[in-house]
Amino acid sequence: GTFQPDENYRRNVNVFTCRRRRCFKHQNQPSLLFTLDREKVRRHIEQTCDEWYRQTNPMVTAQREEEIRLAFSRELSSIADGSGERSKLASHDKMLDLNACYEILFTVAEKEHLTFEYFFEDWEAYFLERHRHLQGKNESDVENKAIEHTGGMGREFISVGCSKNRMTVEVALDFLREMQ
């Protein structure tokens, strides 16, 4: 799927009403009569919105994934020597810089709403979150954590996808799914 806003896109608004509920277990303590855990509310809203977007308008469909893989392959082939054999490239060379990734990952309509600067901010947040899970562990623990937190492609994230300024196709697809 691609982001294709209709004529009502800018006319929609989300409204959130929050009312405090009386907490009956603390009736003897007036300061605890009304409670609101703002962090739980924030997490619930984010999870609900994320799930809704993933179900109603997923950014990574089978067709789009195939198109992205093909575009990555073409770009890597154009970078490779005249033979164009990507399999002979070193692991580091299987990554594209962020400018190329941005051009491949997003449609013209999506780029109208997501500038490169915003993409870069999202990439930094994604990168730091993934990298944070890998720090301070021995190598086997790091690989296990990476596999857990990167949808099974942890070894790649550690060995070749773990560059702040470049990404592989697997990392790019995981990024797109995660940051939807």
One digit per residue, the tens of pLDDT, for the chain of length 180 reads 666 777 776 776 677 676 666 666 655 665 555 667 889 888 988 888 888 888 888 888 899 999 999 999 999 988 875 544 444 444 445 889 999 999 999 999 999 999 999 999 999 998 888 877 666 544 444 344 433 444 444 444 444 455 788 999 999 999 998 887
CA pair distance 140, 134, nearest whole angstrom: 10
Scanning the chain, the segments in alpha helix (DSSP H) are 38-56, 62-79, 98-105, 108-113, 116-132, 139-149, 154-159, 169-178
pLDDT of residue 87: 45
Q: Answer positive or negative: Cα dihedral of 75, 80, 86, 91.
A: negative
User: Would you state the pLDDT for residue 175?
Assistant: 92
pLDDT value, residue 90 = 44
Residues 6+ apart with CB under 8 A from 139: none
179 backbone dihedrals φ, ψ, rounded to 5°: -95, 5
